[in-house]
C-alpha cells in the first residue's frame, strides 16, 4: 500500500518517489533512509548506493559525511579506510564525545507544497496535480552550502573543533572553504563560548 503523496511503486515512505522505499522524502529505490537519494540505502540523507552512513555519498560506506567507498571513517575521502576522522586515525571515544554542530545534519530533499511551487516547478513536475506538491532534491554539495549558510558562527567554530578537523578535506567533501568572514568576525569571547569555555577577555 502506497503512503500519502508517494509516487514510488510499493512505497511506504511519505513523499517518496523511489520504488520499494520506506524512507520518508526518499528518491532512492529500495531505500529505508529518510531523505535518501541513493538506491538500497539505509543511511539518512545519503546519496551513496547501499550506504548506511548518514549524509554520505560513498558507495557501501558506513561512515557519516563520507565521500569515499567502503569507508567506516567520518568525513572520509579515502576508500577502504578504517575508523577515522578527516582521513586521520581517531578513536571512537574521541569522536563520540566531541560536540557536533547541528547544521551538519542537513537534508538532501525537501517537500514543496503545490501552493509554494513556481510555474517552472509545476511544468517540470506535472505529477504535482496528483501529489499536491513535489519532492525537491538537492545536490550533495548544494545541500551542504544551504546548511552552512544558515549556520551560526558558534556552530562553524564547533565544526573546526571536531577531532582532526582539516579544512582541505572538508572542502573536498562539502565544497566549502571555511576560511570566510563568518568565522573571522567572531570575537574571542564568542569562540570560547562556542567551545564551552567560560573565559572572559580583558579589554
27 pLDDT above the threshold of 70: no
Give the pLDDT confidence score for residue 9 in this predicted structure.
43
43 falls within a domain: no
Number of domains in the chain: 1
> Which region among 17-31, 92-106, 124-138 has the lowest average model confidence (pLDDT)?
17-31
- If pLDDT is split at 50, 70 and 90, which confidence band does 195 have? low
Assigned C-alpha cell, 28: 532512492
In a domain, 41, yes or no: no
Would 182 be classed as within a structural domain? yes
Q: Which domain holds residue 171?
A: 84-194
In a domain, 134, yes or no: yes
CA distance 79 to 71: 6
Which 3 state secondary structure label does DSSP give 121? helix
Q: Do the Cβ atoms of 106 and 97 come closer than 8 Å? A: no
Amino acid at each position: 500500500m502506497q503512503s500519502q503523496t508517494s509516487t514510488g511503486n510499493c512505497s511506504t515512505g511519505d513523499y517518496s518517489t523511489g520504488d520499494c522505499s520506506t524512507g520518508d522524502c526518499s528518491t532512492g529505490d529500495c531505500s529505508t533512509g529518510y531523505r535518501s537519494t541513493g538506491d538500497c540505502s539505509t543511511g539518512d540523507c545519503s546519496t551513496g548506493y547501499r550506504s548506511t552512513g548518514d549524509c554520505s555519498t560513498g558507495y557501501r560506506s558506513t561512515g557519516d559525511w563520507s565521500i569515499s567507498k567502503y569507508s567506516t571513517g567520518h568525513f572520509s575521502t579515502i576508500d577502504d579506510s578504517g575508523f577515522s576522522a578527516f582521513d586521520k586515525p581517531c578513536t571512537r571515544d574521541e569522536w563520540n564525545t566531541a560536540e557536533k554542530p547541528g547544521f551538519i545534519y542537513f537534508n538532501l530533499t525537501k517537500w514543496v507544497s503545490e501552493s509554494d511551487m513556481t510555474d517552472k516547478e509545476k511544468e517540470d513536475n506535472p505529477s504535482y496535480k496528483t501529489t499536491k506538491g513535489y519532492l525537491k532534491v538537492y545536490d550533495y554539495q548544494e545541500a551542504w552550502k544551504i546548511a552552512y549558510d544558515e549556520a551560526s558562527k558558534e556552530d562553524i567554530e564547533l565544526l573546526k573543533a571536531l577531532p582532526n578537523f582539516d579544512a582541505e578535506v572538508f572542502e573536498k567533501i562539502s565544497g566549502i572553504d571555511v576560511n570566510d568572514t563568518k568565522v573571522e568576525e567572531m570575537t574571542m569571547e564568542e569562540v570560547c563560548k562556542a567551545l564551552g569555555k567560560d573565559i572572559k577577555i580583558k579589554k
